[in-house]
Structure formats: C-alpha cells, structure tokens
Structure 1
Amino acid sequence: MKIKQILPIILFLVSFSFYAQNDKTDEKREKVKAYKISFLTTELELTSTEAEKFWPIYNAYDDKQFELKHQKMKTYLQRLDEDNINSISEKEAAALLSQMENTDKELYLLRVKYNSDLKKILSSKKILKLKKSEDDFNRKLLKQYRDKAGKD
C-alpha cells in the first residue's frame, strides 16, 4: 500500500485514540482546529473574498466528516473488539459491514458535494493546493504526536 492510502487510516486511528480521552476532547479538538485554520490560511493565500466564502464551507464539511468518521466509526470499532467479533452471528456481521459501507458512501458523497461547492469559489489549482496542505498538516500533526509519545 502507498503511504497516501495508509496515512488516512493511521490518522484516523491516532485521532480516534487522541479524542477518546473524555475530559479534554473538545479542548484538544478546538486547539487542533485552530492550528489547522492557521496552517491552511497561510498555505492557501486566500483573498478576503475567497476566505469569506471558503471557511463556512470548509468548517461545515470538516464538522460533518468528523461526525461520520469519529462518532459512527467509534460505534463500529466498539462492536469489533476481539470478544465481539468471535461472538457475533454472521447476520450481525453482515449488518455491521453494511452500516460501515453506508458510512463510507456518506463520506464519499460528502466529499463530492464539498468539491463541487469549492469549485464555485476557488480555482482548481487552489483546491489541489488545499488537498496538499491538508496532507502536509496531517503529516505535521502525526509527527508532533509521535514526538510527544516518544518523550513520554
């Protein structure tokens, strides 16, 4: 597998464990979100008109994506721990797999709508730059997480 295919999975798992801590979840998420906004603002060099239209779309997309990935997938992962997998029936496993596939479809359709909305306000070049900047941000965040975990 290529790193671009593995990275989202790693980031999901890292962010899942990162956000699994109840007390400071919202605070940590807000810090990461503020850091991401600052990073993307610098990288994208948006005009004031672009920024005014971009951030509401981006934030709505980011929130919905977070909800789908972290809340729905959290439920799935809880049901997939070692004990549950061995004890669920084939019918229950098929139903869970179907739910997971539906969440994947929702994420895909959300991304399609997001890209369509972005094309109305940003050039294709800036959209590609956004994608690269998000990947760079995720790598940077993962590196910070690794560095912090290595010190503990």
Structure 2
Amino acid sequence: MKIKNILPLLMFLISFSFYAQNEKVDEKREKIKAYKVSFLTTELELTSTEAEKFWPIYNAFDDKQYELRHEKMKTYLRKLDDDKINSISEKEAATLLSQIESTDKELYLLREKYMSNLKKILSAKKILKLKKSEDDFNRKLLKQYRDKAGK
C-alpha cells in the first residue's frame, strides 16, 4: 500500500480515536452527574416542592459553571504551559490575564445569582447543607478515583 492510500486511513483512525475519547469523557461526566443528583437528593431531604424548583436552578448553574471552568479556563491554561509561557509577549500575557479575570468575574456573578435564586426556595440551613454535601461528594469522588488509580 502506498503512503497516499495509508495517510487518509490513518487520519480517519486518529480523528475517530479523538471522537471516541470525547464520547467517553461525556459519558463519564453524565454518570458522575447522575451519581451526584442521587447523593444530593439523599443528603438534602428536599420536599417535592423544593425539588421541583431546586433541580432546574442547580442544573443550569452546574452546566454554566462547567462550561466556564472546563471550556474557557482550559483554553487559557493550555497557553500557560511551561514552553508557551516563556515565549509569549507581554501584550499577549496581559490579554490572557484579562481573559482569565473576566472568566473569574463571570463565575463570581454566576455564583451570586445562583445563591440569590436558592435563597428564594431553600432555607439558609439547607443551602449550607447543600454546600457541605457538595464538598462531601467531591471528597468521596476523589477518594474513589485515588483508590482506583492505586489498584
């Protein structure tokens, strides 16, 4: 087989591999999200009325936060790896810093709006319980990840 014939096949296989990896990441994210919903539902003991109002607010916040943290910030952080950071100009660094600050501000405003919306439907005590439950969930998830990696 000639190189001309192999190259398109190789490119197809590489692109398929990247697509499959993205699909696995999305699948894992959905599994984690389902596990988190189950965990928070149990921990918060929401009434049906609270749950009906809570989950749309929580899911919208969670999706937007994920988008900001993982999609925007990853783009910035890729530019900060050791090789690239030493070669960017001061102007490029200032632009990147400005973009990071802007995303941080977006995250802050998003969290502020989220808290404001939560206060309309949940008591302060349940909001604190939510915060603790999220922290507990993250620790539990990290522990599972570490246990899996250690095997």
Deviation at 1:42, TM superposition (A): 0.2
Which 5+ residue runs of structure 2 have no aligned equivalent?
1-20
Residue 130 of structure 1: aligned partner? 130
Paired residue total:
131
Deviation at 1:81, TM superposition (A): 1.1
Residue 45 of structure 2: aligned partner? 45
Note the alpha carbon deviations across 1:38-60, whole angstroms, 9 max, x for none. 00000000000000000000000
Q: What amino acid maps onto 2:49 in structure 1?
A: T
Write the mapping of 1:1-150 to structure 2, written as runs, cut at 5 A: 21-150=21-150
RMSD: 0.7
Moved more, 81-90 or 51-60: 81-90
CA distance in structure 2 between the partners assigned to 1:139 and 1:97 by the alignment: 30
**Secondary structure of the structure 2 residue equivalent to 1:53:** helix
Note the alpha carbon deviations across 1:89-132, whole angstroms, 9 max, x for none. 01101110110011110000000000000000000000000000
CA distance in structure 2 between the partners assigned to 1:88 and 1:30 by the alignment: 37
Note the alpha carbon deviations across 1:46-81, whole angstroms, 9 max, x for none. 000000000000000000000000000110111111
Deviation at 1:22, TM superposition (A): 2.3
CA distance in structure 2 between the partners assigned to 1:145 and 1:138 by the alignment: 10
Residue 17 of structure 1: aligned partner? none
Residue 6 of structure 2: aligned partner? none
CA distance in structure 1 between the partners assigned to 2:149 and 2:22 by the alignment: 19
- Structure 1 runs of 4+ with >3 Å offset: none
CA distance in structure 1 between the partners assigned to 2:50 and 2:135 by the alignment: 21
**Secondary structure of the structure 1 residue equivalent to 2:86:** helix
Residue 16 of structure 2: aligned partner? none
> How does the TM-score come out when normalised to structure 1?
0.85
Q: What amino acid maps onto 1:62 in structure 2?
A: D
> How does the TM-score come out when normalised to structure 2?
0.85
**Secondary structure of the structure 1 residue equivalent to 2:108:** helix
Which 5+ residue runs of structure 1 have no aligned equivalent?
1-20
CA distance in structure 1 between the partners assigned to 2:42 and 2:22 by the alignment: 31
